[in-house]
Amino acid sequence: MGREYISLPARLHTDKASGLDLITMSDTAHAERSTSGLNKSDLLRLVADIDAALPRVHRYAPATPILRLPSLDALINGQVMLKAECVQATGSFKIRGALNVMMQLSLGGADRVIAFSSGNHGIGVAYAAQCLGMTATIVVPHDAPVAKIERIRRLGGDIVSYDRLSEDREQVASALQDKSPAPLVKPYDDWQTIAGQGTCGAEVILQVPEGIDAAIICTGGGGLAAGIGTYLRSRSLKTRILTAEPNGWHDHHLSFQSGTRVRAPGDGAQWCDGLLALTPGKLTFSINQANQAEGLCVSNEHVATAMRTVWQCLGVRLEPSGAVALGALLSQPELFHGQRVLVTLTGGNVDERRFSECLTLAG
């Protein structure tokens, strides 16, 4: 994979110090080994952009809590840190990337944006548009959960539906742009979106100063994993980054194994509607590869058990996509024995019927 594979942005301003001084010189071996086409200075630039994104994001989306469950600690004989992105005002972490991108667009004079989304990114964009006095048109699959579509509508987003099976959402969005030009806010494969999602990792560093041994991240296109992974590893290269995906949609798992972007079979159940990307993003994959991420695959049963555990023990509702990381921990606890593990709970926007189905499956 050559360098032309990745499109990096022109340097944008940052107003805070990066993690540069926290990375030891012995880490250069890692950068030289990387097959991703990204080098250490690219990753440090992302860390600086995440630092710059943090005050933008916190202006409208305060830090989310880390929840703890003694039973999970006992399961791995370690410490499990549940990062509760499901309690964001938009019900998912996607507000982070949307705010980071759109605050900069707004400063540049834009008053309207277009986005395509499986749901949660659309909610984030609609919310950011409301905060910033912009308008947003969101291209959403017609079979997206009603809870997500309604939330976008309530936030004042204009919805354009498309058929997931016969239409390409990027083409639908670009046809809209042709008719009425407006910047596109990408859901994951964009530097500033990734920097926004990375603010979740920046919060974790403040909340868990002792450090994280392994981070399990619910993954679709790979933006959240890229952002969190880069930030955590800027503090310690010992931190392992693990993407969690539903069986059948495990394109990251397959791609990490083969060292190049590979298509998932796409033959699993579609409960995790936010994680149905068939291939990793180009930029996100390069970053995740540079961070030596590994991929975990999760069954529906473990996703359902994760949802039930969080609901029964903490009274917090997760959508299936937001429960995959915990499902991965529950299915392979031996991988994390004795460690301090970050588990992302990425979203809570779930229809009542799907939620009950999951609790029933969990038994």
For 60, what's the count of Cα atoms within 13 Å in the CB-facing half-sphere? 26
Strand order in the sheet with 240-246: 66-67, 79-84, 340-345, 214-218, 240-246, 294-298
What the block records as the tokens of 114 is: 């277009």
- List the one residue out of 72, 37, 7, 27 whose CA is nearest residue 234: 27
Closest to ligand PLP by CB, 19 vs 91, is 91
Candidate list 122, 141, 196, 221; residue touching ligand PLP; CB under 6 A: 221
Q: How far is the CB of 177 from ligand PLP (least distance, A)?
A: 21
| Distance set, CA 140 to CA 170, 242, 260, 279 (Å) | 11, 28, 29, 19
Q: Which among 28-36, 43-51, 56-64, 218-226 is the span making contact with ligand PLP, rule CB under 6 A?
A: 218-226
Alpha helix positions (H), 155-290: 169-179, 191-207, 223-235, 251-258, 282-290
Whichever of 118 and 137 has its CB closer to ligand PLP, that residue is 118
Residue 218 lies near ligand PLP (rule: CB under 6 A) = yes
Is 18 among the residues that bind ligand PLP (CB under 6 A)?
no
Q: Does 88 bind ligand PLP (CB under 6 A)?
A: no
Q: Does residue 222 bind ligand PLP (CB under 6 A)?
A: yes
- Which of these ranges, 56-64, 154-162, 163-171, 316-324, lies near ligand PLP under the rule CB under 6 A? 316-324
The size of the interface with ligand PLP (CB under 6 A), counted in residues, is 22
Among 18, 64, 88, 92, binds ligand PLP (CB under 6 A): 92
Closest CB 307 distance from ligand PLP, rounded Å: 12
Report the sign of the C-alpha dihedral through residues 48, 49, 50, 54, in that order.
positive
Shortest Å distance, C-beta 85 to ligand PLP: 8
- Of 49-57, 135-143, 212-220, 229-237: span binding ligand PLP (CB under 6 A): 212-220
Question: In terms of CB distance, is 104 or 288 closer to ligand PLP?
Answer: 288
Binding mask 331-360 for ligand PLP (x = CB under 6 A): ---------------xx-------------
Question: Residue 7 or 28: which CB sits closer to ligand PLP?
Answer: 7
- List the interface residues with ligand PLP, window 93-132 (CB under 6 A): 118, 120-121
Pairing mode, if any, of strands 79-84 and 158-162? Answer: unpaired
Per-position x/- string for 161-200, each x denoting binding to ligand PLP as judged by CB under 6 A, each - no binding:
--------------------------xx--------x---
Q: Which is nearer to ligand PLP, 23 or 285 (CB)?
A: 285
CB atoms within 10 A of CB 137: 22
Residue among 360, 292, 302, 267 nearest 27 (CA): 292
**DSSP conformation letters of 107-167:** HTT--EEEEE-SSHHHHHHHHHHHHHT-EEEEEEETTS-HHHHHHHHHTTPEEEEE-TTT-
3-state secondary structure of 234: helix
268 binds ligand PLP (CB under 6 A): no
Length of the chain: 363
From the number of C-beta atoms within 10 Å of its C-beta (0-12, 13-18, 19+), residue 207 rates as middle
Of 196, 220, 229, 248, which lies in the binding site for ligand PLP, with binding defined by CB under 6 A?
220
- What are the backbone dihedrals phi and psi of residue 137, each rounded to the nearest 5 degrees, phi first? -110, 125
Contact footprint for ligand PLP (CB under 6 A) = 92, 118, 120-121, 187-188, 197, 218-225, 274-275, 319, 321-322, 346-347
